[in-house]
Structure 1
Amino acid sequence: MKEILEFLRDLENNNNREWFNSNKERYQKVLKTWYAFCESLIKEIGRFDEDIAPLTIKDCTYRIYRDTRFSKDKSPYKTHFGVFMAKGGKKSMHAGYYLHIGTGAGTEYPHAHMLASGNYCYDNKAVKILREDISDEWDTFSRNILGKANSMFVPDMEGALKRVPREFDSNAPYADWMRMKSFCLSAITDDSFLLEDNLAQRVAELFKTTKPFINYINRAVDFVKEEMKG
């Protein structure tokens, strides 16, 4: 991971096509290392989640080139690598396991290094079901689902509503979950974590603790998908 971190930091300081083209060989070497790691991670997670085992690199990874058409930031390249392993692949709308390697400059996306379980984009029907299920089953959800996740993981409130929807009790212990639109647990890490030996196994062990959460979210996603088929 050291070479990947060094490349991303150099890219952040030289985010232009001239620098990137002159360092294309270095990028290709770093990308090969990243893909090899991702393959190991898919294999490790596939040991406890059979939906992940058949995934390929193409199913889970992203291009480094930014789409700048609708952005004020015209920097041509992303300064992070990400791998998202979800049932059916990254575009399936299912909850999954995401590892994000940034530059490590701070604790905010996209610079932070992060693990996340969930997704940031769900069908509105799935969001409605999840809010109803979590509020109705809060004791079970908090104890048997959230309680199983490693303490590193916390609810990600990015993009949440400012207020609790009126049909739910704003003073209830589940109130923050009612504000969510992207049901996700996230954990911020640092360089020392990424430089640990056997990183793929270590990351997989942490993600394994969030599998009950993934299953719970995907139950709603699958229900909506089946309903749409009918």
Structure 2
Amino acid sequence: MHVRDLAQFLAELSENNNRAWFAMNKPRYDLLRLEFLELVTELIKGISAFDPAVANCNPKKALFRFHRDMRFAREGGPYKTTFSASITSSGLKRPSQGGGPAYYFHIDANGSLLVAGGEYMPPADRLRAIRFQLEKNEVGLIAALKDRNLKKTFGSLQEEGKLLRPPKGFSPDLPQIELIKLKSFIVWTENSIGGLSGAALKKQLLSNFRHAFPLIAWLRSIK
């Protein structure tokens, strides 16, 4: 993976997000996309060493579309300015599809690498299942979050979109109510890719994903 070339391509695209520029630079895109697919293929193999459940994830399906759906895009051009992928045991990327817990990462036009693990905005039925599990016993989640490597790499759960009040049917007096108020169960970290080689990028991603595994495993245990 030519990391610097990818960052440069995305930076240029962010300034020229139109079909004419993209058509002229499509050979660059095609090569970078192929390299990105190879990286995701290698990541699936590497993750499978500590999480065999993802071994059959299709790398092509793990990649997110690069073309933006202009029916729903309120701003920006026809192309996303990130290369992104989500690796799951189900092979489905999006929580709305029932993808379940995921290993996610993207590289953006600012040269930033975001690495995440968990479930972001799961659908209502899945969110209820997680909350009911927490109501019964939150020990598993707390143990996962106390994992030394997870805590060092990611800190704690992100609280984006957290409810101000307890969800319907849950007592505000529950000791774990602050966890139950969450709408996502995900950790992430963001760093610059400046100076990273392709090999170093792969190594960093695998290390981060391994550290996210305790949370992934706990979420996957909830049926």
**What band does the TM-score fall into relative to the shorter chain?**
0.7 to 0.9
Number of the residue aligned with 2:152: 151
Contact 1:94/1:119 (8 A) holds in 2: yes
Shift of 1:170: 6.8
Number of the residue aligned with 2:106: 100
Shift of 1:85: 0.4
For normalisation by structure 2, the TM-score amounts to: 0.85
Structure 2 unaligned residues grouped into runs of 5+? none
The letter of the residue matching 1:102 is D
Equivalences for residues 158-177 of structure 1 within 5 A: 158-165=160-167, 167-169=170-172, 172=175, 174-177=176-179
How well do the aligned residues superpose, as a CA RMSD in angstroms? 2.3
CA distance 1:27–1:199, shift in 2 (3 Å): same
Partner of 1:198, secondary structure, is helix
Contact 1:163/1:179 (8 A) holds in 2: yes
Number of the residue aligned with 1:108: none
For normalisation by structure 1, the TM-score amounts to: 0.82
Contact 1:86/1:92 (8 A) holds in 2: no
Equivalences for residues 1-230 of structure 1 within 5 A: 1-89=3-91, 90=93, 91-104=97-110, 112-142=112-142, 144-148=143-147, 149-153=150-154, 154-165=156-167, 167-169=170-172, 172=175, 174-192=176-194, 194-195=196-197, 197-220=199-222, 223=223
Number of the residue aligned with 1:226: none
CA distance 1:33–1:70, shift in 2 (3 Å): same
CA distance in 1, matches of 2:82, 2:136: 39
CA distance in 1, matches of 2:171, 2:12: 48
**Deviation string for 1:25-62 (max 9, x for gaps)?**
11111112211111111111111111111222222101
CA distance in 2, matches of 1:193, 1:176: 40
CA distance 1:158–1:195, shift in 2 (3 Å): farther
State the identity as a percent: 26
- Residues matched between the structures, number: 213
Which range is displaced more, 121-130 or 9-18? Answer: 121-130
CA distance in 1, matches of 2:196, 2:182: 29
Structure 1 unaligned residues grouped into runs of 5+? 106-111, 224-230
